Structure 1
Amino acid sequence: MNDDSGGRGLNEDGTIRREGSLDRVPAAFAPVVEAARSRIAEVFDGTRLHSAYIYGSIPRGTAIPGVSDLDLLLALREEPTAADEAAVRAMEAGLDSAFGQIDGVGILSARAATLTSEFERHDLGFFLACLCTPLLGEDLAEGLPCYRPTPLLARETNGDLVLSLPRWRRRAAEAATDAERRNLSRGAARKIVRSGFTLVMPRWRGWTSDLAESAEVFARYYPDHPERIEQMRLAAYTGRTPSADPAVLTTLIEDLAPWLAAEYLAVHGEKAPRP
Structure 2
Amino acid sequence: MADTALGKGLDGQGYIAREGSLALVSDDFRPVVAAARDRLLDVFGARMHSAYLYGSIPRGTARVGHSDLDLLVVLHAEPTDADREDARVLGEGLDKEFRRIDGVGTLLYGKARVLSEPERHDLGWFVACLCTPLLGEDLAEYLPRYRPDSLLARETNGDLALLLPRWRERITAADSEEARRPLVRLLSRRLVRTGFTLVMPRWNGWTSDLTEMAEAFGAYYPERAEQMRAAAVRGYEPVGDAAVLRSYVGDLGPWLAQEYARVHGVKAPRPD
* Fold shared per TM-score above 0.5: yes
Unaligned runs of 5+ in 2: none
Q: Counterparts of 1:4 and 1:172 in 2: how far apart (Å)?
A: 36
Q: Indicate conservation of the 8 Å contact 1:5/1:11, yes or no.
A: no
Q: AA paired with 2:116? A: S
Secondary structure of the residue that 1:71 maps to in structure 2? Answer: strand
Structure 2 counterpart of 1:45: 45
Structure 2 counterpart of 1:196: 195
**How much has 1:27 moved relative to structure 2?**
1.1
Q: Deviations over 1:134-187 (max 9, x none)?
A: 000000000100000000000000000111111111111111222210111111
**Which residue of 203, 224, 229 corresponds with 2:225?**
229
Unaligned runs of 5+ in 1: none
Q: Counterparts of 1:190 and 1:75 in 2: how far apart (Å)?
A: 24
Q: Deviations over 1:196-220 (max 9, x none)?
A: 0000000010001100000000011
CA change 1:270–1:3 in 2 (3 A) is closer
Q: Indicate conservation of the 8 Å contact 1:158/1:271, yes or no.
A: yes
Are positions 1:127 and 2:126 aligned together? yes
Q: Counterparts of 2:103 and 2:177 in 1: how far apart (Å)?
A: 14
Secondary structure of the residue that 2:28 maps to in structure 1? Answer: helix
Structure 2 counterpart of 1:96: 95
Aligned length, in residue pairs: 269
Structure 1 counterpart of 2:172: 173
Q: Counterparts of 1:5 and 1:24 in 2: how far apart (Å)?
A: 25
Structure 2 counterpart of 1:247: 243
Secondary structure of the residue that 2:107 maps to in structure 1? Answer: strand
Which segments of structure 1 move beyond 2 Å, counting only runs of 4 or more?
Answer: 2-6
Q: Counterparts of 1:86 and 1:115 in 2: how far apart (Å)?
A: 21
**How much has 1:82 moved relative to structure 2?**
1.1
Structure 2 counterpart of 1:267: 263
Q: Counterparts of 1:119 and 1:184 in 2: how far apart (Å)?
A: 28
Q: Counterparts of 1:65 and 1:177 in 2: how far apart (Å)?
A: 25
TM-score by length of 1: 0.95
Identity of aligned residues (%): 61
TM-score by length of 2: 0.96
CA change 1:252–1:3 in 2 (3 A) is closer
Secondary structure of the residue that 2:17 maps to in structure 1? Answer: coil
